[in-house]
Structure 1
Amino acid sequence: MVNKSVSKSYDLTPTTQGPLYPPSEVLDADGNFIVEGYLVVPGPDGKPIRRWGRAIVAADTPVPKFGDLAAYTIVRELPARLSAADAGSVLHTLPLPLPANNYPMVFAPDQLPDADTVRRPSYPFHRTPIPDLRPEDGRKLTTPVTLGDWLGARGTLEVTVDDAARHGEFRFQFSGLIPDSLYTVMSLRAKDLDRDAPTRPGPLGVPNVFVTDEHGAAAYRAVLPNPFPDPALPGANRIISVVVLWQSYQQNYGGAIGHFGLGGDIHAQLKLPDPVFEEFVTRD
């Protein structure tokens, strides 16, 4: 019996958030987190819960043990329709070491095993110091990136599992991204956020980058072996989501998504907010 390939399409959601801590991978000019994603707030019984929202979160917000929740210190929530001032807020990288971070992960263990010892300030996106850049080399991003710009990103994903159920193809189409910029796509697997033994988030395909055109449009495709193993199998570590990341240093890191992660040198802009792909099962 020959199995038929299975496909499904998804719309990606604009965000500024990777995991919950740090609350965002983007800062404002005052050093506070700009969150478009899950806000951690007190629930009806006082215990922290998650709800999707948009807010400015204080830089000194509490940080719980990895895997636990602590309510964010919210400076103010932002409306669905941003004011001109909020839409014009200039986006910045996170400083190093990463603030409000509890993720126990080295993102590039072969390239930079001591990433947590590096010290750097926060930079406006358009002024991030690209290594070895000379003025005459023609930096392409020279104007500020605003929150309004960032949230204008759109993306679709089509996933197809082949007839033999051995490979998964991921096809993306993007618009409204930062023009003339380097991006990567991350695969989030089921155990990447395991509180006891998290696995390292990796790229969705290698080479794992794409470059937008002058209008912020792009396409990306990757084919991965056995991306959706049966979760009942020992050691199964399925892909459960994808995240589209802007590279602030405009560098590719081979088999790593970045050196520092989480707003240090990669910045989540589009993602699938909740686990998906349950309908797919692949095999070796």
Structure 2
Amino acid sequence: MAAIPLSVTTQGPLYPPSEIMNEDGDFVVVGRVNRAAADGGVVAPWESVLVSAGSPVPEFGRHLPHEVIRPLTAEDDDMVLHTLPVPLPCNNYPMTFAPDQPPAERELPSYPLHRVPVPDLRDEDGPKVTEPITLGRWLRARGEVAVRVAPDRTAADFEFEFADLIPNSLYTVMSLRERDLDPAGPTRPGPLGVPNVFTTDRRGAGRYSATMPDPFPAHDRPGRNRIVNVIVLWMSYQRSYGGAIGQFGLGGDIHAQLKLTAPGFHEHTTTAP
């Protein structure tokens, strides 16, 4: 059961371009960046850049070049990271992530990650995330996942090890399935196990495990919806959402920090119980 390294990121899908902003309202992108190709199309290399919130937004399933402001450099390590405002800018993903948990507020500002208004929190309750979270600190995150298919092939175990995540924080792990971003009818992304929660220690270390039923149906099975990625989310409101990955949307209250850079797990096959 060889471990697969996860890559540090700030991105879920390509719209919004990132789940993290800076204080100026620019997307802080560590992930795929839409660029104009020589043939008139769009390519998406993995980069670290600032992207304008005024970037053009195509219909879901299509892509246009992002409006890149500049590359990110070591001089940006002290940049304080922020949530996205709600409604989300540059968003074309027609998905309700928590259909049974509609948010009470539909409009929210962008908050520094360490100043998100955690519901019902009082100073005397002992908040643990109190210092600014910078880009340099975010990019230190490391993690890996090992996958083991059960002997009867009806399930698979996912085992994670993490280091240098944000200390004393609530994280969740979600799965991305091959039809979750299907323009013809996207399925709702879900947790990788329920509960899908772990907390980090004061050094940012953590572990998580889940057993998923039939996560890798054969490629020729009708109606298949394989898990193709796993994404580690920092939860800015320090809470989880049961069978939903979040409530306010990508960057509103969930923030991808580790994932595979491309769809994976092709080598595994499972069967229905």
Aligned to 2:58: 64
TM normalised by structure 2 equals 0.98
User: Are 1:107 and 2:97 an aligned pair?
Assistant: yes
User: Are 1:122 and 2:110 an aligned pair?
Assistant: yes
**Secondary structure of 1:219's match?**
strand
Aligned to 2:166: 178
2:42 pairs with one of 38, 43, 48:
48
1:252 pairs with one of 213, 232, 240:
240
Residue 117 of structure 1 deviates from its aligned partner by: 6.8
Q: Distance in 2 between matches of 1:49 and 1:134?
A: 47
**Secondary structure of 2:137's match?**
helix
Aligned to 1:200: 188
Q: Distance in 2 between matches of 1:229 and 1:117?
A: 39
Matches within 5 A, 1:79-94: 79=73, 82-83=74-75, 86-94=76-84
Could you give the per-residue CA deviations for residues 178-213 of structure 1, whole angstroms, max 9, x where no partner exists? 000000001000100001100000000011110000
User: Are 1:29 and 2:23 an aligned pair?
Assistant: yes
**Secondary structure of 1:148's match?**
helix
Aligned to 2:72: 78
**Secondary structure of 1:136's match?**
helix
Aligned to 2:14: 20
For the 8 Å contact 1:29–1:91, the answer to whether it is kept is yes
Q: Distance in 1 between matches of 2:16 and 2:105?
A: 18
Matched letter for residue 44 of structure 2? R
For the 8 Å contact 1:231–1:237, the answer to whether it is kept is no
Aligned to 1:38: 32
Could you give the per-residue CA deviations for residues 75-123 of structure 1, whole angstroms, max 9, x where no partner exists? 11124xx12xx000000000000000000000000111xx597000000
Matched letter for residue 125 of structure 2? D
2:202 pairs with one of 214, 228, 233:
214
Aligned to 1:234: 222
Percent identical residues:
56
Matched letter for residue 221 of structure 1? S
User: Are 1:267 and 2:255 an aligned pair?
Assistant: yes
Residue 48 of structure 1 deviates from its aligned partner by: 1.6
Residue 26 of structure 1 deviates from its aligned partner by: 0.2
Residue 235 of structure 1 deviates from its aligned partner by: 1.2
Residue 46 of structure 1 deviates from its aligned partner by: 3.0
**Secondary structure of 1:12's match?**
strand
Which structure 1 residue ranges, 5 or more long, are not aligned?
1-6
Residue 155 of structure 1 deviates from its aligned partner by: 0.1
Runs of 4+ in 1 over 2 A off after TM superposition: none
1:144 pairs with one of 126, 132, 149:
132
Q: Distance in 2 between matches of 1:207 and 1:64?
A: 35
Q: Distance in 1 between matches of 2:249 and 2:148?
A: 28
Matched letter for residue 256 of structure 1? A
Matched letter for residue 19 of structure 2? E
TM normalised by structure 1 equals 0.94
Q: Distance in 2 between matches of 1:242 and 1:36?
A: 17
Aligned to 1:168: 156
Q: Distance in 2 between matches of 1:184 and 1:33?
A: 22
